[in-house]
Amino acid sequence: MTDLTAPVSAPARKRRSNLQLLMANRLAAAGLFIFGFIVILALLAPILPIPNPDITDQPNRLLPPLSEGHLLGTDHLGRDILSRLIWGTQVSLLVGVSATALAAFFGSLIGLVAGYVRGATDSILMRFVDMLMAFPYILLAIAIVAALGPGLLNALYAIALVNIPFFARNIRGVTVSIRNREFVDAARLSGKSHAAVLFTEVLPNVLPVIVITMSTTVGWMILETAGLSFLGLGAQPPTSDLGSMLGQARAQLFTAPHASIIPGVMIFLLVMSINLLGDGVRDVLDPRLRSGTLGRPMPVTKIKRETKPASTIEDAPALFVENLSTGFDTGGSITPAVNEISFRLDKGECLGLIGESGSGKSVTALSLMGLVASPPGIITNGGVYIQGQDVLSLREQDLIALRGARVAYVFQDPLTTLHPLFSVADQIAEAVLAHNPIGKRAARQRAVELMETVGIRDASGRASAYPHELSGGQRQRIGIAMALANDPDIIIADEPTTALDVTVQARILELLQKLRRERGLALLLITHDFGVVAQVCDRVAVMKNGEIVEQGETQTILRAPQHDYTKRLIACVPELGEGHSFLDRVRPLFSEAKA
């Protein structure tokens, strides 16, 4: 942890290229293959040995497929369907891709400028976009074609125009979020003009979204232009695209269905291959999907232990953890996060679990009740004994029944950990009802009592408030009230005060201390702050790289840490009143690293 100067580890660089990732997705690869085949066929139309698509041959009209000289038969004017199909595909592709390019260019430009400049420009541009969006889907296109007159080019403009809002909105959203990132301000301070910031700093970050949006809308635009042609408003004879082929063949639907079905299937294949490819492209470029975190977390962490420990033990404390190991499944191999850790927590005791980021302290806390998101989380070893019973050996619903009843959690950021759409009293009442079916009214009464217990003034008045209407400190009090709902034996508090200001933190810690003493609660406190540990914990366990390097009485460890890591960690905490001497004191700790 100390040697910042060591070279960065290399494995991150050896990532698979985007194309490799795309090809690894079988559906996307299939899409690419079909799409590529269609594109090549369409491009080769001038040199393929196919008849002229516009030569009519009345005697040979409506020939079925596999007729001599006409592989796919002929249409109502005796024209060769295969030839028309290939040429028509070329037109459809060209129009769809051009419309997408136009919509993407103008839409992205509007979105970029509106999102970056904000203010009045943003309002005006986006009101304009809203107006365009206020038309149902393709009706505006119809109005434009009506005004300009039917024709392929007019249809193209119309389709491009009605899709501009879609790009503008998407791109604006992303631009706004990137504009608020600090590197944009930093680039300004590095001397870049607004235009330079927009096009050299923001645009590169927005580009993947533009590509994703394009790849997911090309298919749609091909469908829309084909639709206009189908209605006779797009391609006009002698030009024909897939849509107009279908439109013209419709009259002979009952006598010669193949003339309709062939172009229809072609449109379907083309659009489907593009959609498959588009989804693949999105998966590759979207970093969230890429890291594989979009999996749906299961109710209980996957448990796959090498050895099964005894399911019960005698004379157990409130909580006893033995050789617990948890890792993350990274496609094939398991990256350990917590490694063979053991600790105990007695009734009424407070144990601090302290460590720096990445030490595995939060994963430990979540593992105890199987709350590590899974996939990718997986508990690979060990036992967690609550009152002597290994909870990891329990059936899923029995483990769930323990949550919130015997063991309750308080999480870090109360804004994201409370449900935004339910009132706070409902959320507390729900916790009561989950284990104790006393009826809605009684549960709500209990919720208000609990809110009073945790020191919320005017509890009955605040009961119907939503989380966003409360301050950070009050929200965390709600979180604590929820944890107390069923008089648990153990509360696991995962960085409960990290998101709060110091003055609020002091009051929340006070509250936790008071509750612990009054109710004889066992408290497992996860934190990165030695000050917090010193203030509330009886004992402390120091974690590093998924292991507990040292544990013992808080005072003993603070006064005489044994392990080098603990020593250094404690030494690095500045104390109020120490002033400049702090820096002189820690300087020797790092001098060897610099040498």
Name which of residues 239 to 278 contact other proteins (CB under 8 A).
243, 246, 250, 253-254, 257, 260-261, 264, 267-268, 271-272, 275-276
| Region 523-542 residues binding other proteins, contact defined as CB under 8 A | 528-532, 534-536
Q: How far is the CB of 61 from other proteins (least distance, A)?
A: 20
| Binding status of residue 574 toward other proteins by CB under 8 A | yes
Task: Identify which of residues 18 and 416 has a Cβ nearer to other proteins in the complex.
Answer: 416
Instruction: Provide the token pair at 205.
Output: 């970050």
Rounded-to-integer distance, Cα 57 and Cα 72, Å: 15
| Binding status of residue 82 toward other proteins by CB under 8 A | no
Count CB-CB contacts under 10 A for residue 307: 8
Rounded-to-integer distance, Cα 270 and Cα 264, Å: 10
| Region 192-211 residues binding other proteins, contact defined as CB under 8 A | 192-193, 201, 204-205
Q: How far is the CB of 188 from other proteins (least distance, A)?
A: 5
Instruction: Provide the token pair at 52.
Output: 């002229």
Task: Identify which of residues 82 and 249 has a Cβ nearer to other proteins in the complex.
Answer: 249
For residues 510, 513, 514, 520, the Cα torsion angle rounded to the nearest 10 degrees is 170
Nearest residue to 322 (alpha-carbon basis) of 294, 345, 343:
343
| Binding status of residue 37 toward other proteins by CB under 8 A | no
| Region 461-520 residues binding other proteins, contact defined as CB under 8 A | 466, 468-469, 479, 482, 485, 501-503, 505-506, 509-510, 513
| Binding status of residue 460 toward other proteins by CB under 8 A | no
Residue type, 145: V
The one among 106, 538, 558, 563 contacting other proteins by CB under 8 A: 558
**Cβ atoms 156, 239 nearer than 8 A:** no
* Residue span binding other proteins (CB under 8 A) among the ranges 36-44, 75-83, 182-190, 385-393: 182-190
| Binding status of residue 554 toward other proteins by CB under 8 A | yes
Q: Measure the CA angle with vertex 104, ends 99 and 108; round to 5°.
A: 155
How far apart, in Å, are the Cα atoms of 20 and each of 28, 121, 142, 403, 497?
11, 42, 42, 43, 44
Rounded-to-integer distance, Cα 309 and Cα 29, Å: 46
Binding mask 129-158 for other proteins (x = CB under 8 A): -xxx-xxxxxxx-xxxxxxxxx--------
| Region 102-121 residues binding other proteins, contact defined as CB under 8 A | none
The one among 39, 71, 176, 187 contacting other proteins by CB under 8 A: 187
Task: Identify which of residues 334 and 373 has a Cβ nearer to other proteins in the complex.
Answer: 373
Rounded-to-integer distance, Cα 42 and Cα 97, Å: 13
Task: Identify which of residues 57 and 590 has a Cβ nearer to other proteins in the complex.
Answer: 590
| Region 338-367 residues binding other proteins, contact defined as CB under 8 A | 356-357, 366
Task: Identify which of residues 304 and 419 has a Cβ nearer to other proteins in the complex.
Answer: 419
Instruction: Provide the token pair at 56.
Output: 């009519």
The one among 51, 65, 173, 232 contacting other proteins by CB under 8 A: 232
Spell out the residues 6+ positions from residue 87 whose beta carbon is closer than 8 angstroms to its own: 45, 53, 240
Angle between helix 119-133 and 81-117 (nearest 10): 150
Instruction: Provide the token pair at 338.
Output: 């917590």
Task: Identify which of residues 313 and 373 has a Cβ nearer to other proteins in the complex.
Answer: 373
Does the N-terminal peptide bond of residue 376 adopt cis geometry, omega within 30 degrees of 0? yes
| Binding status of residue 378 toward other proteins by CB under 8 A | no
Residue count, binding to other proteins (CB under 8 A):
145
Q: Where is 81: in which H helix or E strand?
A: helix 81-117
| Region 402-431 residues binding other proteins, contact defined as CB under 8 A | 402-405, 408-409, 411, 413, 416-422, 430-431
Task: Identify which of residues 487 and 501 has a Cβ nearer to other proteins in the complex.
Answer: 501
